[in-house]
């Protein structure tokens, strides 16, 4: 049995009793990485020397008041688009292959305050653009449940590292489903918080009005503790919200009596596979038997979600990625003859195909002749999608459906068909457009033995109710206890 099979609270208790040390946990992590990383390929950079030094320092504090926090001494993996001072941050892109940041993201400062130990930086789709982690500029990550399948994306490394038992939890980022979709594919628990709940300062920007950092864990309880540590307003991020952060753990009552659950008919419509549909229906039946009420509703504008998202996210990406020009940091072409040549060749050589595709789409949508037809229209559609959620939440506590239409697909299966790949996020994208929180929890397995995810969506800043439903469901099932056999 791995130490990471214990919940966070159990590990903390063992540490307080001095039955386990921080060094034990860090060694467990690197030992597991040595054993399985050749197959999974979740990490881009390891920080072994600093992690062992930090573990040694923290071991001297065990038994004192400084070691009281639940996250004290816990190993964690960080998605490689969250900047870490002195630890390489590449966004899985050649254009940042030599970038060592000079400051920490706010979430990293919060984790340092909680005395966690950073194990390394995790693979992802380049600049978080993708749904399979096949768009990484350095390596393809495999799904621990079946090494021939993708772990999802863009936080594929973050989800795979947790599923493979390399770290007990990790941080990812979610712009259109990039935490929830890989969590569903790998049988882990992934939360996209309300937009503004967690500071984006130090998260390399993709779509600034959509991006959110969130936790990926093995169970709902650990997820709540990790969100507790990273949530809150931040003076460095004007989009972070000054809303009180509640005690999420107190919501984990196991009780859903009287809760009203909405099931959008669009989330179980054509295109959603039978395995996903059946697992969600079974989950709803179980929640109903526990005292919740379940009704079918409609989110009529969700069908425009994918088109709206790719116009808006690509437009924001076009603007955000203009800073990567070979002048200030990152890769610079050695073949330039003049300044314009430097810009063109640096970006042509440094960015991958998917990033170029989205930059061009976004630049087109923002151009003077097409702005009203595309970008403005996209913002109008976004308002309608947000209104759909607000209308449903007037009468219901949560919205439930599948996280993804299908289980994980094979590596290489969709990489040459961008439109099919984009459609994979059809159930997660509306949540980002509306800015509401959503979580994916394991809810069964396909006929091929691959995990399936249940998506629970809540009102703005009401992560507590999402956790309440997710935890109650988790306690009544054992899907989260099953692990891949690597």
Residue 79: active-site member: yes
Look at residue 415 in the predicted model and tell me its pLDDT: 85
Q: Which of 93, 132, 158, 178 is catalytic?
A: 178
User: Cα 474 to the chain's mean position, in Å?
Assistant: 19
Tokens 């669009």 — which residue? 266
- Rounded alpha-carbon distances, angstroms, from residue 173 to 3, 107, 134, 225: 26, 12, 17, 17
Look at residue 292 in the predicted model and tell me its pLDDT: 98
Tens digit of each residue's pLDDT (9 = 90 or more) over 140-165: 999 999 999 999 999 999 999 999 99
Phi, psi for residue 180 in degrees, rounded to 5: -70, -40
Q: Which of 93, 154, 279, 302 is catalytic?
A: 154
Q: Is the pLDDT of residue 419 over 80?
A: no
Q: Is the pLDDT of residue 424 over 90?
A: no
Tens digit of each residue's pLDDT (9 = 90 or more) over 103-153: 999 999 999 999 999 999 999 999 999 999 999 999 999 999 999 999 999
Look at residue 417 in the predicted model and tell me its pLDDT: 81
Contact 144, 484 (CB under 8 A): yes
Instruction: Give percent of the chain above pLDDT 70.
Output: 100
**Rounded Cα gap, residues 336 and 464, in angstroms:** 54
Class of residue 418 by CB neighbours under 10 A (exposed 0-12, middle 13-18, buried 19+): middle
Contact 237, 200 (CB under 8 A): yes
**Rounded Cα gap, residues 134 and 123, in angstroms:** 10
Contact 272, 402 (CB under 8 A): yes
Structure tokens at 398: 């949560």
Interval 422-451 mean pLDDT: 95
Instruction: Give percent of the chain above pLDDT 90.
Output: 96
Tens digit of each residue's pLDDT (9 = 90 or more) over 71-92: 999 999 999 999 999 999 999 9
Tens digit of each residue's pLDDT (9 = 90 or more) over 28-58: 999 999 999 999 999 999 999 999 999 999 9
Three-state DSSP class for residue 127: helix
Tens digit of each residue's pLDDT (9 = 90 or more) over 343-358: 999 999 999 999 999 9
Please state the domain extents for the chain.
Answer: 3-258+397-481
Tens digit of each residue's pLDDT (9 = 90 or more) over 355-392: 999 999 999 999 999 999 999 999 999 999 999 999 99
Tens digit of each residue's pLDDT (9 = 90 or more) over 447-480: 999 999 999 999 999 999 999 999 999 999 999 9
**Rounded Cα gap, residues 140 and 132, in angstroms:** 9
Look at residue 418 in the predicted model and tell me its pLDDT: 79
Residue 322: active-site member: no
pTM of the model as a whole: 0.97
Q: Using DSSP bridges, classify how beta strands 43-46 and 117-122 pair: parallel, antiparallel or unpaired.
A: antiparallel
Q: Is the pLDDT of residue 423 over 90?
A: no
Return the CATH architecture of domain 3-258+397-481.
Alpha-Beta Complex (3.90)
Strand boundaries in 123-244, DSSP class E = 169-174, 189-192, 212-217
Closest by CA position to 456, among listed 485, 427, 422, 484 = 427
Tens digit of each residue's pLDDT (9 = 90 or more) over 185-227: 999 999 999 999 999 999 999 999 999 999 999 999 999 999 9
Q: What is the DSSP secondary-structure string of 316-351? A: HHHHHGGG-SSSSSS---S--SSHHHHHHHHHHHHS
Look at residue 270 in the predicted model and tell me its pLDDT: 84
Closest by CA position to 317, among listed 424, 240, 208, 192 = 208
Q: List 437's β-bridge partners, or say none.
A: none
Residue 345: active-site member: no
Give the sign of the dihedral formed by CA 323, CA 324, CA 329, CA 332: negative
Q: Which of 41, 54, 79, 121 is catalytic?
A: 79
> How do the residues of the chain divide into helix, strand and coil, expressed in percent and rounded to 5?
45, 15, 40
User: Cα 361 to the chain's mean position, in Å?
Assistant: 24
Mean of per-residue pLDDT scores for the chain: 96
Q: Is the pLDDT of residue 422 over 80?
A: no
Helices 106-113/220-230 angle, 10° precision = 110
Structure tokens at 384: 């309608």
Q: Is the pLDDT of residue 282 over 80?
A: yes
């Amino acid at each position: 049995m791995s130490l990471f099979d214990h919940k966070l609270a159990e590990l903390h208790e063992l540490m307080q009793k001095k039955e386990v040390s921080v060094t034990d946990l860090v060694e467990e992590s690197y030992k597991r990485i040595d054993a399985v990383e050749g197959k999974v390929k979740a990490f881009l950079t390891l920080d072994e020397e600093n992690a062992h030094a930090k573990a040694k320092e923290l071991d001297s504090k065990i038994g004192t008041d400084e070691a009281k926090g639940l996250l004290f001494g816990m190993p964690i993996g960080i998605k490689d688009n969250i900047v870490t001072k002195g630890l390489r941050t590449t966004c899985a892109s050649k254009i940042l292959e030599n970038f060592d940041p000079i400051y920490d993201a706010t979430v990293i400062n919060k984790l340092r305050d909680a005395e966690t130990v950073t194990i390394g930086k995790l693979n992802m789709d380049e600049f978080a653009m993708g749904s399979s982690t096949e768009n990484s500029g350095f390596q393809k990550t495999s799904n621990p449940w079946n090494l021939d399948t993708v772990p999802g994306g863009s936080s594929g490394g973050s989800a795979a590292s947790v599923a493979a038992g390399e770290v007990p939890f990790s941080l990812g980022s979610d712009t259109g489903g990039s935490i929830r979709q890989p969590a569903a594919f790998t049988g882990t628990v992934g939360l996209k918080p309300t937009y503004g709940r967690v500071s984006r300062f130090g998260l390399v920007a993709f779509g600034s009005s959509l991006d959110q950092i969130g936790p990926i864990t093995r169970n709902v309880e650990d997820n709540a503790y990790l969100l507790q540590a990273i949530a809150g307003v931040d003076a460095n991020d004007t989009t972070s919200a000054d809303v009180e952060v509640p005690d999420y753990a107190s919501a984990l009552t196991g009780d859903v009596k009287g809760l009203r659950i909405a099931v959008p008919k669009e989330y179980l419509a054509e295109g959603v596979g039978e395995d996903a549909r059946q697992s969600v229906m079974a989950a709803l039946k179980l929640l109903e038997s526990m005292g919740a009420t379940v009704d079918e509703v409609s989110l009529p504008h969700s069908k425009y979600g994918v088109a709206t998202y790719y116009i808006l996210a690509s437009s924001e990406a076009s603007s955000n990625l203009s800073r990567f020009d070979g002048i200030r940091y990152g890769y610079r072409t050695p073949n330039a003859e003049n300044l314009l040549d430097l810009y063109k060749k640096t970006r042509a050589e440094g960015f991958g195909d998917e990033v170029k595709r989205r930059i061009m789409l976004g630049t087109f949508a923002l151009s003077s002749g097409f702005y009203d037809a595309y970008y403005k229209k996209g913002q109008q559609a976004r308002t309608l999608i947000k209104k759909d959620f607000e209308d449903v939440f007037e009468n219901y506590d949560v919205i439930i459906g599948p996280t993804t239409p299908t289980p994980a697909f094979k590596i290489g299966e969709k990489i040459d068909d961008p439109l099919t790949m984009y459609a994979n996020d059809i159930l997660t994208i509306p949540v980002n457009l509306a800015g509401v929180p959503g979580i994916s929890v394991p809810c069964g397995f396909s006929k091929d033995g691959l995990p399936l995810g249940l998506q629970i969506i809540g009102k703005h800043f009401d992560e507590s109710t999402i956790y309440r439903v997710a935890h109650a469901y988790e306690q009544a099932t054992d899907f989260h206890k099953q692990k891949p056999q690597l």
